[in-house]
Chains A and B, each alone.
Chain A
Amino acid sequence: MNSGDTAWVLMSTALVLLMTIPGLAFFYGGLVRRKNVLSILMQCFIILCVISLQWILFGYSLAFGPDVHGLIGNLDWAGLKGVGSLPNADYAATIPHIVFMIFQMMFAVITPALIIGAYAERVKFPAFLLFTVLWATFVYDPLAHWVWGTGGWLKKMGVLDFAGGIVVHVSSGISALVLAVLLGKRISYNHRPIRPHNLPFTVLGAALLWFGWFGFNAGSALAADGIAANAFLTTNTAAAAAGLTWAIIEWWQNGTPTILGTVTGAVAGLATVTAASGFINPINAIFVGIAAAVLCYIFVAIIKTKLGYDDSLDAFGVHGVGGALGTIALGLFCEKTINAAGNNGLLFGNPKQFFIQCLAVAVPIIFTAIMTWLIFKIVDVLIGMRVEEKNEIIGLDLTQQSEAAYTVIE
């Protein structure tokens, strides 16, 4: 046991919590219309409440518990049975097992919260709640086991994912795309662009996301060591390069850089570098950041408009695209001199890792898309995913929660 490691991972856990609330909540909350801002804050907040309990009761055991055929953990650790203050050497030898467990809890919380961006402004609250619990249990928990759990089949194959490029960003991003298509466009989406109601909220949220991401990535070293420091630096570098690149693209394309574009670029850089952060050097992180901004811009500003799906807050365009790009970029740029527990990538003489990483993107895409479709259909039959047209026009704050964010008259 190491007190420095334990302190850092506990601190990182709090940083990752900050990413969901208030980070993501305000990042997304500012992007919707004023009649729906509370629905976003509520969804983010209640996810923290619900998944915190799901994780302790059975989610952690499904994801990280004793392996069943490489596919899922069994329920031996349900209710945290046997998960205590002694370390579990399979996951982290120098910190208490419960510290590893609660750090992972915050990842299980933020992943379904990222999907909110796809169904924003038109989902029924009870349907959202049921969808989230089913998705966390039947998509997130198995996928986390495949990639991170002892005995997980992708892990055994040599797939690398330092902090959740596959498990968090690809999974939530692909689910977001599937949901955006299944739910359909928001009323009035085609007739005029839907303007964000409070961009300062969005900038505040993005800044908190960047701050919290140091816990997300550097904390994933599970120790206060050189690998954590390197991940900290690659995280900051990729975010900086991506934010600047996005601003320059807008400047060139539209004549002016926007703050919304700059923060979107930074978040794309953060999502993209996540998988690779602990395995690549800081200079290559610049390339990862630039590629993130270019590719995500193409998806958000061009492909989305061309194909016409309403990925309302660009959960797919930023997190799905970025997560997949980062997982593949990891296969190019990873090197054992940075992290001996990793591997060398294509540029360091090991093309095999590159192909493994491509597989590691393809498999979760297929699995997540099918499962999301299935869960959507079940919830749609039981409750109905989308609100009635008149409620969508009035807004979710008043119709789903009976409250309003702003008063117009005293």
Chain B
Amino acid sequence: MKLIIAIIQPHKLESVKRELEAVEVNLMTVTNVLGQGRQKGVTEIYRGAKEAGGLLNKVRLDIAVNQDFVEPTIKAIIKGAHTGSVGDGKIFVVELVECIRISNAERGPKAIG
């Protein structure tokens, strides 16, 4: 089991979701986050006071998958979120130690999907 964490451009959420559904990955948690990468942030000005490098809006997806779904999920996220410029985001894949479905206390791989 793996936990896939993707940080993407907010306006790409819809196309990423569409690509994930096409490979039958339907379960995810989505949050609004702030961040900065290589492209740095934008400069904000309030009554003449400049704040350089304010953080940019990003969207974070948390997706738990079984081993067979890892590569299809990564490919779907790239397909949906790719524009080719800095700021497209990153995907992190981490080991998932356990997964428990709260409604019936199922554990392990069968609790994921």
The A interface is mostly helix, strand or loop, or mixed, namely helix
A-chain residues with CB within 8 Å of residue B47 when the two chains form the complex: 260-261, 264, 300-301, 314
CB contacts under 8 Å to B, within A203-258, are 250, 253-254, 256, 258
Select which of B44, B48, B51 is within 8 A of A301 by beta carbon: B48
> B5: shortest Cβ distance to chain A, in Å?
21
**A264 to B49 CA separation, bound complex (whole angstroms):** 14
Asked whether B45 lies within 8 Å of A302 as measured between CB atoms, the reply is no
B46 at the interface (CB under 8 A from A): yes
A residues at B contact (CB < 8 Å) = 192-193, 195-196, 250, 253-254, 256, 258, 260-261, 264, 297, 300-302, 305, 314
B residues at A contact (CB < 8 Å) = 44-51
Q: Which residue of A lies closest to B48 (CB)?
A: A301
**A297 to B50 CA separation, bound complex (whole angstroms):** 14
B-chain residues with CB within 8 Å of residue A302 when the two chains form the complex: 48
Select which of A192, A256, A264, A305 is within 8 A of B45 by beta carbon: A256
A193-B46, A305-B48 known; 14 other A-B pairs, CB under 8 Å?
A193-B51, A195-B44, A195-B46, A196-B46, A254-B48, A254-B50, A258-B46, A260-B46, A260-B47, A264-B47, A297-B48, A301-B48, A302-B48, A305-B49
Asked whether B45 lies within 8 Å of A250 as measured between CB atoms, the reply is yes
A-chain residues with CB within 8 Å of residue B44 when the two chains form the complex: 195
B-chain residues with CB within 8 Å of residue A261 when the two chains form the complex: 47-48
> A255: shortest Cβ distance to chain B, in Å?
9
B-chain residues with CB within 8 Å of residue A250 when the two chains form the complex: 45, 48
B-chain residues with CB within 8 Å of residue A301 when the two chains form the complex: 47-49
**A149 to B50 CA separation, bound complex (whole angstroms):** 45
> B59: shortest Cβ distance to chain A, in Å?
18
B-chain residues with CB within 8 Å of residue A264 when the two chains form the complex: 47
